[in-house]
């Protein structure tokens, strides 16, 4: 599958106008995502929804050849969606532990990037941590609103792209590639039937450096290169393609005002509502991972909730997270999960236990506390905890710390 996906990207490099290569590419991604959704990275869940939407529109176009979508509507769907996604990403960060310089999620990312840029072991100070905390909030909750108006659209897009350009240096070029797609969709003129030849050339440069990033990663892994530096090197190569692509894009795309057609308000409102439900379900008890809560230090469990504006004691409708198990000890095979001395909702533990027993043939023992009873399990496969319900897969929760300020979670 990886080889096929790589081949399709190579074909896109040769001729990005070959729609069938793009459709096959999307189909491969959807095949991968559908068996794992929603237990994917935050950006991968967005890509999953986008893949479904694009294939749905493609099938409708095949069935109804005369189907037309207003170009103006496409641009506004991008702008409303991007603004909403970024806003909620920042909103989840409005918690006491994110603003705690000892554990804030901004620390590790910036120490990694600045350390590589300065070739030092950089340790972030409280004041610098505080600066990055508020800078991230402004970047995610305020800057995207500038995409709504023509005079501020390019400037806002540039700031968001610089934000991701920086994050690309910390292993997040996969998220950055999605940002390219979404942000470019906010500034393109979909009413135009032609693409400037310089932009066409820049697309090939961008795809080339994406492929180069992929190839360099394989080579470095093969020769056992220090993985600590791998993400930074990937980001450097990927960013070269970014600079070329966006230089030609911004110098050859003219700003244009787009008025919202009243007939499109229902579709745009639906986009906003669906995205809002997907991410705000965190506060009613339907999972708090994979839905824009990345790098937020967020805790939603009632007794330890740390959001500054939302009290989950009042908003929780479902108590899946409150029905939890404290893990004291796990089998050595599962040490990498780092669940020991943390709580996990029982629905999450049942789902994970079922998966573990399917993946590993060894006898998995563990010690845990459930409803104040200490339970020693010799073989997890023979316990009640391995019995899971189908819906537990969709209740994707983070682990819950039992003491101290909440550390950074993806």
Instruction: Tell me the per-residue pLDDT of 226-236, one tens digit each, with 9 for 90 and over.
Output: 888 888 999 99
Distance between CA atoms of residues 345 and 354, nearest Å: 14
Cis amide bond preceding 38, omega within 30? yes
What is the average per-residue pLDDT within 90-100? 97
Instruction: Indicate the DSSP class of residue 162.
Output: H
Q: What is the 3-state secondary structure (H, E, C) of 116-137?
A: HHHCCCCCCCHHHHHHHHHHHH
Distance between CA atoms of residues 350 and 358, nearest Å: 12
What is the average per-residue pLDDT within 46-55? 91
Instruction: Tell me the per-residue pLDDT of 236-261, one tens digit each, with 9 for 90 and over.
Output: 999 999 999 999 999 988 877 778 88
What pLDDT shows up at residue 58? 87
Given pLDDT bands bounded at 50, 70 and 90, which one contains residue 29? confident
Distance between CA atoms of residues 138 and 142, nearest Å: 5
Residue 106 has pLDDT above 90, yes or no: yes
Tell me whether residue 59 is exposed, middle or buried, using C-beta atoms within 10 angstroms of its C-beta: 0 to 12, 13 to 18, 19 or more: exposed
CB 257 within 8 A of CB 76: no
Instruction: Tell me the per-residue pLDDT of 187-217, one tens digit each, with 9 for 90 and over.
Output: 988 888 777 888 888 888 888 898 898 889 8
What pLDDT shows up at residue 2? 47
Q: CA quadruple 14, 18, 21, 27: dihedral positive or negative? A: positive
State which H helix or E strand residue 42 sits in: helix 42-63
Residue in the structure block whose two tokens are 């030609």? 248
At residue 347, φ and ψ (nearest 5 deg) are -65, -40
Given pLDDT bands bounded at 50, 70 and 90, which one contains residue 17? low
What pLDDT shows up at residue 15? 63
Note the residue count of the chain. 410
Looking at every residue in the chain, the average pLDDT score rounds to 90
Answer left, alpha or beta for residue 341, where phi above 0 means left and psi between -120 and 50 means alpha: left
What pLDDT shows up at residue 10? 57
Distance between CA atoms of residues 325 and 339, nearest Å: 11
Of 56-65, 93-102, 292-301, 334-343, the least confident: 56-65
Sketch the domain layout of the chain as residue ranges. 1-68, 70-196+253-318, 323-402
Given pLDDT bands bounded at 50, 70 and 90, which one contains residue 1? very low
**What is the model's pTM?**
0.92
Distance between CA atoms of residues 124 and 188, nearest Å: 38
Distance between CA atoms of residues 37 and 45, nearest Å: 7
Q: Which two tokens stand for residue 331?
A: 């089998």
Of 13-17, 50-54, 268-272, the least confident: 13-17
Tell me how crowded residue 78 is: count the other CB atoms within 10 A of its CB.
21
What pLDDT shows up at residue 4? 47
What is the four-CA torsion angle of 94, 160, 231, 240, rounded to 10 degrees? Answer: -170
Task: Give residues with Cβ within 8 angstroms of 117, minimum separation 6.
Answer: 169
Residue 54 has pLDDT above 50, yes or no: yes
Tell me whether residue 92 is exposed, middle or buried, using C-beta atoms within 10 angstroms of its C-beta: 0 to 12, 13 to 18, 19 or more: buried
Residue 18 has pLDDT above 80, yes or no: no
Instruction: Indicate the DSSP class of residue 283.
Output: G
């Amino acid at each position: 599958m990886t080889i096929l996906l790589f081949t399709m990207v190579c074909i896109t490099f040769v001729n990005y106008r070959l729609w069938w290569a793009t459709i096959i590419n999307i189909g491969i991604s959807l095949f991968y995502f559908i068996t794992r959704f929603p237990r994917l990275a935050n950006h991968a869940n967005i890509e999953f929804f986008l893949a479904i939407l694009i294939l749905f529109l493609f099938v409708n176009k095949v069935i109804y050849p005369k189907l037309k979508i207003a170009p103006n509507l496409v641009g506004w769907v991008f702008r409303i969606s991007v603004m909403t996604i970024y806003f909620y990403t920042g909103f989840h960060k409005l918690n006491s532990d994110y603003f705690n310089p000892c554990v804030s999620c901004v620390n590790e990312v910036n120490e990694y990037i600045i350390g590589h840029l300065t070739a030092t072991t950089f340790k972030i100070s409280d004041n610098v941590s505080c600066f990055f905390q508020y800078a991230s909030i402004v970047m995610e909750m305020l800057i995207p609103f500038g995409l709504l108006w023509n005079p501020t659209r390019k400037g806002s897009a540039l700031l968001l792209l610089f934000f991701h350009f920086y994050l690309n240096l910390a292993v997040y070029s996969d998220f950055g590639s999605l940002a390219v797609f979404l942000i470019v969709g906010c500034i393109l003129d979909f009413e135009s039937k032609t693409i400037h030849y310089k932009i066409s050339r820049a697309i090939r440069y961008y795809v080339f450096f994406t492929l180069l990033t992929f190839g360099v990663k394989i080579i470095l892994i093969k020769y056992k290169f220090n993985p600590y530096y791998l993400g930074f090197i990937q980001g450097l190569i990927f960013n070269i393609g970014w600079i070329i692509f966006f230089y030609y894009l911004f110098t050859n795309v003219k700003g244009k005002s787009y008025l919202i057609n009243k007939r499109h308000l229902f579709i745009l409102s639906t986009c906003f509502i669906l995205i809002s439900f997907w991410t705000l379900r965190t506060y009613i008890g339907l999972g708090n991972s994979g839905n824009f809560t990345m790098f937020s230090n967020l805790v939603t469990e009632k007794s330890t909730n740390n959001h500054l504006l939302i009290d989950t004691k009042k908003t929780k409708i479902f108590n899946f997270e409150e029905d939890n198990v404290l893990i004291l000890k796990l089998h050595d095979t599962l040490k990498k999960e780092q669940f020991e001395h943390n709580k996990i909702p029982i629905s999450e533990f049942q789902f994970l236990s079922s998966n573990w027993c399917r993946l590993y043939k060894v006898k998995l023992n563990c010690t845990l506390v459930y409803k104040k009873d200490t339970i020693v399990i010799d073989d997890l496969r023979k316990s009640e905890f391995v019995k899971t319900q189908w819906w537990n897969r969709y209740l994707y929760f983070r682990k819950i710390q039992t003491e101290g300020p909440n550390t950074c979670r993806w």
